[in-house]
Amino acid sequence: MATSPVSGKRRASDSDSPPATVRKSRKTSSPQRNSAPSAARRALNAATGTPSASAPKRRYRPGTVALREIRFYQRSTELLLRKLPFARLVREIQMEFTPREYRWQAEALLALQEAAEAHLVRLFEDANLCAIHAKRVTLMVKDIQLARRIRGRHYGE
């Protein structure tokens, strides 16, 4: 064992102990691999329509997609709720009021779903007007409560 000239402490010789700092060997790749994608890859991405790694995904401004969805659903005429979960809900509510289970025609469930969705859409329209009247754009529970109260007893109270 030899002594260190700086501290005067004894240190092990190089053959006795490992070096003070262990270095990990890193696998270095050639500069060609780290560069931008090759022309063939860019051509393939352009042909398939997939965005390349360098092109960021398109982000729309806040509210743009929401307005597009509003226009889409206002134009559409299909049902907004899935049929099977709605049918399960109807049967569950029916079981609360009657002791036995009834059978439902598909047309009856469809008519009930159309009426329920029309009622909900109208309620949300009225609640949105209440929010706009309060100089807000966010729909809150109190807007829905106010819309129901203004409608009166015949509309769900």
pLDDT surpasses 80 at 47: no
Residue 120 sits in a domain whose CATH number is 1.10.20.10
**Is pLDDT above 60 for 34?**
no
Whether 38 maps to a domain, the answer reads no
Exposure of 7 in the CB half-sphere (CA atoms within 13 A): 5
Fill in the DSSP letter of residue 115: H
Find the domain containing 140 and state its range: 64-155
The pLDDT tens digits for 48-105 are 666 556 788 889 998 899 899 989 988 988 999 999 999 999 999 999 999 898 999 9
Q: What is the mean pLDDT of the chain?
A: 81
DSSP conformational letter for 101: -
In a domain, 74, yes or no: yes
Q: How many domains does the chain have?
A: 1
28 in a domain, yes or no? no
Is 109 a member of any domain?
Answer: yes
Q: Is residue 17 part of a domain?
A: no
Asked whether residue 47 is assigned to any structural domain, the reply reads no
Q: For residue 56, tell me if it sits in a domain.
A: no
Amino acid 22 reads V
Q: Tell me whether residue 72 is in a domain.
A: yes
Q: Tokens standing for 90?
A: 């109807």
